[in-house]
Each structure stands twice: as structure tokens, then as C-alpha cells.
Amino acid sequence: MSCRARSQCTPRRSGERTEAYLHTLGFKDTAVIGCPSMAMFGPSHSVPNPVISEDTLVAYNVETSVDRMGAAVADAELNYRAVYFPQDLQTLGLMLWGSKRSPMRRDRRLPIWAGHPQFRSGTAEFMLDADSWIGRLRSFDFSFGTRIHGNIAALLAGVPSLTIPHDSRTAELAEYHQLARYAPAREEFMTVAQLVEWFSADAMNRATRSNFERLRSFLHENGLESIFDPGQEQALRLYESTIQQNLPQEPVRCRWVGLDSQDRRALWRQRPRHLEPALRRGVTNRAARAIRRHHYERLRASSTLGNAAAGAGQDPPSAKSRDRG
């Protein structure tokens, strides 16, 4: 694989709004190619339209900094088999060590506090790598959320996923890839059934090939090849076999489920104090590496995580049968 000198490469930008902003700063040599992850499985990848019932397995993701989708989350928890897939370090910290804080003036229907049923029942799953994440989502029937890459992960798994944009970046990526998206004027009565009714994969499926070819042209213009190019069939097979040989990483689940108050306080005291500022700020690559380095291997070896992860391949219980506290 070769690439031209960096000074000759065309900067890539995910969406037209970002490109327009860069033009105001004087950067004119840009290309809009969307999210390259959408090309992970080639130009023929497609997603079906959803069919749901009371036994439907629903995945959802949440941007924890905004109060969106509270009604839909509550409906998913009450009427379907729902699993929350968090993506931020603050929630990971809550799942590992618990929390003494309760959100003030926030929508408590959202999984942003320790008392939420997703945490109390040990159902929420924090995935640690993309392949395991996509593989886990393949068993679901429908997904929705405000996190663009949580929705893209579901789409790559072949699962119908509805994006609910909460900022311009999410909106422009959804528009570029023609993702099914829903931005209701009022969310008080939003239900999963309404989201499913709104969903259609037709536009995205039609746009997949043209977007893929645009990305491939961008790579070729900058001296790069892809495993989907003619003559790269052996590389593609090697890549796919290597991915299949990788053992899936078990998700992180709440460590404190089932512990009494004394043990929970002891677990809270074990939290890494030097990482607290990063956890409060949110996701940073440095903090993510630090958390993995300091804790992941120890957690995998612990009986608490081992017992929790043993059921990762099983469908979660219906919300109607959970202890909702």
C-alpha cells in the first residue's frame, strides 16, 4: 500500500457542512466522503426493513450529554427486550465502580444514573472493540439512538437502525449516507413502534454503492489501494479469515450488581483517582488507553466480570420480569 506525500493528499471531510466551514477558513482542497466505516463490507452491503413483535430484541445508544429519546427508551424498556450499548467513559466508570451521584434536573428515564434498570439488572453492555460490537448486534432486530457510530455499528451488522440527530455532525453524516433518521418536533410520546414505522432502508441501500465508489476514488487519487480493488481478492480473503479467527472480546457489565452497600462502597473506593478528571470530561484516547491498561486485564480475570460476561451471548430477560427497583 502506497501513499503520496502528505502535502499532496486531499484532506477528507465527513460532510458538506464541515466542508463549507473549512472553506470559510481558506481550505479549498477538500473532499466529502462521509464515514469510511460504512464501506467496511463493500458496495453490496444492505439492510432490511424491520419487523417487530413483543419478543423483539432492541438495541439503543444514548448521547449522555443531552436529554433526548426519554420516551422511546422508556417504551423499549417496558415493552421489548432492550439492551443499552453505552459509548462514553463516564458510563464505563459507573459500570466498573458505581457512582454516588444522581443526575439533577435530567431525564431519569435515560440510562445516565446507577438506578436505571439497564444497570441494576446488569443488562447494559460496554463493548471494547468494533468486531465484537458488530458481532453482538447481529442478534438484534432493531436499533435506535443519537450516537452516529452506535447506529453505524448496527447497520454494519445488518440491523435496521434509526438515527435521531442531536447535532450538526450527526445530521450531516446521516444525510450523506441517506441513513434513516427521525427528528420529531415533540418527543414526549415517541415509541419504538413509531420509530420502526418511520424507518426505511431503501434510500441508504441505493446510496451505498455510489458512496463506496466515491470513497474508493478518493483513495486512488491519494495513492492508496483497498481490499475491494481488482487483484486484491486474496488480500480480502486473508482479511476476512483473520477477523473470524480473532476471539470476540466479552463486554463489560456492571460489576456492582448484587453487592450489598458495604461492598459497593469498597468497590467505589477502588476507583482510580488519577483518571477521575478524564472520566468527568468524557472520552479521550489517552484516558481510554489508561483504563484498558490499568483495569481490563484484571477485570477479565475477576470472578465478578467473568460471571457477568458468561451470559453475554444470551438474550436478556424481558423488562417486565426485571427488578425495576
pTM: 0.80
d(C-alpha 129, C-alpha 127), whole Å: 6
Rounded Cα distance, 157 and 47, in Å: 9
Number of H helices, E strands in the chain: 15, 6
**Chain mean pLDDT for the chain:** 83
19-37 as b/e, with b when 16 or more CB fall inside 10 Å?
beeeeeeeeeeeebbbbee
Chain centre distance of CA 14: 18
Specify the range with the lowest mean pLDDT, choosing from 38-42, 95-99, 142-146, 195-199: 95-99
Instruction: Provide the sign of the torsion angle of the four alpha carbons 285, 297, 90, 137, taken in this order.
Output: positive
97: amino acid identity, one letter? W
The amino acid at residue 315 is D
pLDDT band at 140 (very low <50, low <70, confident <90, very high): very high
Nearest to 90 by CA among 300, 276, 309: 276
Sheet bearing 161-163, strands edge to edge: 81-84, 57-61, 142-145, 161-163
Q: Which residue has the higher pLDDT, 289 or 52?
A: 52
Query: Is residue 216 scored above 60 in pLDDT?
Result: yes
Report helix, strand and coil shares of the chain as percent, to nearest 5.
Answer: 45, 5, 45
